[in-house]
Amino acid sequence: MPVVQVGDERLYVAARKLAESAYPPLVLIHGAGGSHLDWPPELRRLAGVRVLALDLPGHGKSSGAGRADTQVYAAAVAGLLETLDLPPAVLVGHSMGGGVAQEIAIYWPERVAGLVLISTGSKLPVAPDLPDRVINNRESTLDQIVAGSWGDGATPALTARNRENLLAVPPAVLSADYAACQRFDVRAALGRIAAPTLILVGSKDRMVPPKFSVTLAERIADSTLVQIEGAGHMLPLEQPGEVASAIEMWLAERTWAS
């Protein structure tokens, strides 16, 4: 199944096969300029869980172009879930991917059993000139992005790989992603999210500070907020063990429809 035809595009999905599970499938949705590789093995191989990590259109091994609208990305992911004939899934979204997950929960709620929102908000703070700068001042802008993305647990190897990965993203795709983040705003619709939601944030997140996660927790009725001390915006890669443990505990504490 690694490549799935969805409309005119071929979307790449790295899927962990599992005969049966007590939990809904988990679908991992990466952030701006990312791919399925933004999810470390600790999360792609959660014990007893069927996990699918996708590449959004124009990213990684997926075809198509980047989008300047998170709702268009959400429609593509909803189409993928339908094509795969998945039962309602737990959508795990990081940063922009968290925005995509929220929009699926709002506009395609029948596809969603739960949400895990990581380093994200109901609105995403992106500098007005960032979409232009990632094209016209690429090297220095990527340096700034990487410098602001990590917390206390980041190693030089992690930050170097992050910069390397961003350099490999076509500038037009990265620019469109940041334009999509600028436009994203579901503050008025948060009350429509009925799915149980786990919210994870690093205390040192400078890209989407913890106050954005607090707002999510205040406005999503069935939500749990967990702050991981010292971690930055790239929380899943910086503290994969803590993120995996938080998700496993949250899954185990709930009763899921079979």
Q: Is residue 210 part of a domain?
A: yes
Q: Is residue 171 part of a domain?
A: yes
Q: Is residue 234 part of a domain?
A: yes
Rounded to 5°, the CA angle 30-224-196 comes to: 75
**Domain with 210 in it:** 3-253
DSSP state of 2: -
Task: Please give the chain's pLDDT, 258 residues, in tens.
Answer: 588 888 888 999 999 777 788 899 999 999 999 999 999 999 999 989 999 999 999 999 999 888 999 999 999 999 999 999 999 999 999 999 999 999 999 999 999 999 999 999 999 999 999 999 999 999 999 999 999 999 988 999 999 999 999 999 999 999 999 999 999 999 999 999 999 999 999 999 999 999 999 999 999 999 999 999 999 999 999 999 999 999 999 999 998 986
Q: Is residue 172 part of a domain?
A: yes
Task: Tell me if residue 47 falls in helix, strand or coil.
Answer: coil
pLDDT at 1: 59
The domain total for the chain is 1
Q: pTM here?
A: 0.97
Q: Which phi and psi (to 5°) does residue 54 adopt?
A: -105, 160
Q: Is residue 167 part of a domain?
A: yes
Q: Is residue 145 part of a domain?
A: yes
Q: Is residue 258 part of a domain?
A: no
Structure tokens at 44: 């792609």
Q: Is residue 224 part of a domain?
A: yes
pLDDT at 64: 87
- In the 3-class helix/strand/coil scheme, how is 111-142 assigned residue by residue? HEEEEEEECCCCECCCCCCHHHHHHHCHHHHH
Strand order in the sheet with 197-202: 3-6, 9-15, 51-54, 26-29, 89-94, 112-118, 197-202, 223-228
CATH number of domain containing 8: 3.40.50.1820
